[in-house]
Each structure stands twice: as C-alpha cells, then as structure tokens.
Amino acid sequence: MKLITTLLATALAATTMIAPAHADDKFTLGRTILLEHGNLAAKIPMIVCRNTNAIKIKAEKNLELRKAVVKFQNGEEQTIHFHRDLKKDHTTDWRYFGYRRCVKNIDVYGNSKGSKAGVRVYGKEKND
C-alpha cells in the first residue's frame, strides 16, 4: 500500500512540474455564435475576470466580423473595429489594449455567411 501511495505521489509531482508549451501563450476567453441576420451583440459573459493585454478572434465558420466591445472590471470599455470577412478557421491579428486589463465581458458584432457561425475569442498570457 505504501508503494502505491509513493508511486502516485511521484506521478502527481511529475505531472505538475511539466508546464504545457504554447506557441504564443494564448488562452480562450470565450465562445459565442453569430447569426445570419443578427443586429444584436453575441455576448460572452465571464464569471471571473481574466487578465490579458490583447485579444484575437477566430471564426469557426465563414463570417463577417464588424467589431468587438470589451468591458473591463473597472467599468471601462474598449471598442475594437474589424470590418472584415473571416473564412473558416482564420483569425484576426492580435489587438492590444496597451497594458494588461481584467476582461469581464465581450460583445461580438457581425453576421454569419450561413445560418450561424461560431466565434472564439482568445486572450494573450504574456506581454510582448
């Protein structure tokens, strides 16, 4: 029994010491769906604010992306205009806030090219 406990403790310690390698240290802030004729925002609420200094948007289907309104913990908001067509699995460039901010909510505006299109918003883990 003691041998099994020792092996489990060793395995747990080994897995916690291994850090995942990310190419650009990005993480998902949230996902939402844009509709074909949607004039309303597709909202991504967050229970806990997430610190990041930039966002990037990825289209899971073809869509027309107009803008994203990022709301921060202190009540401020920043509108980032894109006005571009994104093809499936393509991303925008990183759009920087200037410094690390605590993101509380994101509203994405745009239309899908079909009935609906998924959108994924990424944040950046490290400052560049």
- Measured in whole angstroms, how far is the alpha carbon of residue 8 from the centre of its chain? 34
Q: What is the DSSP letter of 78?
A: E
- Tell me the three state secondary structure of residue 94: coil
Task: Please give the chain's pLDDT, 128 residues, in tens.
Answer: 655 554 444 444 433 333 344 456 899 999 999 998 878 899 999 999 999 999 999 999 999 999 999 999 999 999 999 999 999 999 999 999 999 999 999 999 999 988 899 999 999 987 66
Q: What per-residue confidence (pLDDT) applies to 70?
A: 97
pLDDT for position 24: 63
The total domain count for the chain is: 1
Question: Which pLDDT value is given to residue 15?
Answer: 38
DSSP string of 29-67, one letter each residue: EEEEEEETT--S-EEEEEEEEEEEEEEEEEESS-EEEEE
d(CA 106, CA 44): 5
* Predicted pLDDT of residue 60: 95
Q: Specify if 10 maps to a domain.
A: no
How far CA 57 is from CA of 101, 110, 115, 123, in Å, comes to 17, 12, 19, 9
> Residue 38's pLDDT is what?
74
Alpha-carbon dihedral sign for residues 81, 85, 91, 92: negative
Please indicate, yes or no, if residue 6 is contained in any of the structural domains: no
Say which CATH number the domain at 80 has.
2.60.120.1380
Contact of 46 with 108, CB cutoff 8 Å: no
Give the domain extent around 47. 26-124
What is the DSSP secondary structure assignment for residue 90, as one 8-state letter?
-
In a domain, 20, yes or no: no
